[in-house]
Structure 1
């Protein structure tokens, strides 16, 4: 029998601390109007001192398990998409699994920056459909506030911290919630467009101290904008054609929440109305690997995602990487809003 990976649970978590555009304007040479006009972002949330990516991942994972009605010992795989792990070594996923009551589960991290959640879904789905595992918990979690230059108004305006998660179970390819396919890709020639230059083996093996700015996240905004629109649009269209949605397309696109202008441009490329493009970044900023599952949870809570809709997910991130997947939206049980920790 053909098997598919089916989304059966969904949850999110955000830090309690809210940073508004007005808060940033009091610290930096910026303004609410400048930030909104360029990004569409009004607020973002950041972790408190002493908190880490795993804290958000555990909270989101717990809510996804509750949404699915799944016990911890039913899950034997945890895949964590993150570019801000608790430590450079080891991976953060095993600690998340242990804290969720799954100490024997297979667990690993996926580092594909803002495409991480789609890559993690693809990895977990492959293991489920192969019969390697029974159920999987896929989490996207990032705390980019820990790698941003405090004096950089551009990156601090864009990024926020958060986590989102889904539970996957094996099921029938024709049922709602089944992931219908993937389109994944990368282009290492653009690896310098989104990067933290210092801290890895290349910089350390060279010896000496790296410039202070190399320890912070850096992004070439204009080039990234163009690449993001092109890559997400092409990936989404390739998948639409492959799964037989050509001619009718998706009812709703939940894209990586990078920038409002990028979201609108992707929608235009796919021939969709603004109402068909999910927007969540206005309240949380770019939460990197968490952005797609957090946007799903927000849309589910608001009722803009309804059972039976054709939903396409697409992301673009550092590497460069991109990826898309699609599903018929299922009926899910979900708590009223993402947890605040």
Structure 2
């Protein structure tokens, strides 16, 4: 079973910026209330000409270009989402079609909520090893604005739309570890096709308790599996749900705050897109360089969690 490394990244966000002050005009809230409790100052919402599929295609195309590969090189296409445009065709099928990927490759969606992108990496790794292919395209994409109940002041202020993508490549890289888990529950719910309206609900305090316990557990499991600790990592990328969650974990682990990236102030919680958006931002800003070792941790509805230690290898040499 070969390991994988990251060889390309990309991201896409809608054109509409929605600030906390904008939300305060339509729901009983304020910039001070939102920012002090979450660290979020703005987020992006799709306008009438944008959708989940268009964001996924844009982010995937950027990651493919960044990798230096051609569409024919991709052997697996996976999209992680809870808010795709359709139950079927899948978002991944639309990415496959619009990017001109080969027809004889698996292309499908997965739903593990905010952990979905990291689930996608591990699923793609298994498929690459099993099919003889070498490169996979993984996308995390959400249009959560269409699931918001704008009368629910505790939830609607948290989420935003966006997409992030990465190309991973099989390699002889020795450092790789993953952890996946599930604790079934109804703390975060969004109804899909069926008799009930498609609105997102969340029990915020329960999710906070879950997140602040599961992130240290993920980090501990990844350290045990990889033989590496936080001091060995160049960056730690957690799901960007709430600044207070990440700060709590940093204090509990007595970790270096500079290793933990935070960008929820600009994007809000973008669920499955959160980790890959942060990854691409770090790469494009030059804060992650070729050879850097990354620890990524996701947690979300399900309840699910996932983590990975993986190296950023930069542009493919093919």
Name the TM-score class by shorter chain. Answer: over 0.9
Once residues 147 and 232 of structure 1 are traced to their aligned partners in structure 2, the CA distance between those partners, rounded to angstroms, is 26
Q: Which residue of 2 aligns with 1:120?
A: 120
Once residues 135 and 199 of structure 2 are traced to their aligned partners in structure 1, the CA distance between those partners, rounded to angstroms, is 37
Instruction: State whether structure 2 residue 214 is matched by structure 1 residue 215.
Output: no
Q: Paired residue for 2:189, among 195, 198, 210?
A: 195
Q: CA deviation at 1:142?
A: 0.5
Question: Conserved in 2, the CA contact under 8 Å of 1:240 and 1:249?
Answer: no
Once residues 111 and 68 of structure 1 are traced to their aligned partners in structure 2, the CA distance between those partners, rounded to angstroms, is 25
Once residues 25 and 231 of structure 1 are traced to their aligned partners in structure 2, the CA distance between those partners, rounded to angstroms, is 32
Once residues 195 and 27 of structure 1 are traced to their aligned partners in structure 2, the CA distance between those partners, rounded to angstroms, is 23
Once residues 171 and 107 of structure 2 are traced to their aligned partners in structure 1, the CA distance between those partners, rounded to angstroms, is 22
Q: Which residue of 2 aligns with 1:306?
A: 289
Q: 136-145 or 102-111: which moved more?
A: 102-111
- Structure 2 stretches of 5 or more lacking a match? none
Q: Which residue of 2 aligns with 1:52?
A: 51
Instruction: State whether structure 2 residue 257 is matched by structure 1 residue 274.
Output: yes
Once residues 107 and 216 of structure 1 are traced to their aligned partners in structure 2, the CA distance between those partners, rounded to angstroms, is 27
SS in 2 for 1:164: strand
Once residues 113 and 315 of structure 1 are traced to their aligned partners in structure 2, the CA distance between those partners, rounded to angstroms, is 9
Q: Which residue of 1 aligns with 2:180?
A: 184
Q: Which residue of 1 aligns with 2:82?
A: 83
Cα deviation per residue 1:16-71 (whole Å; 9 max; x = unaligned)?
Answer: 11011111112221111111001101110011114221110000000001100111
Once residues 216 and 64 of structure 1 are traced to their aligned partners in structure 2, the CA distance between those partners, rounded to angstroms, is 31
- Structure 1 stretches of 5 or more lacking a match? 334-341
Q: TM-score, normalised by structure 1?
A: 0.87
Q: CA deviation at 1:155?
A: 2.1
SS in 1 for 2:119: helix
Q: Which residue of 2 aligns with 1:336?
A: none
Question: Conserved in 1, the CA contact under 8 Å of 2:6 and 2:311?
Answer: no
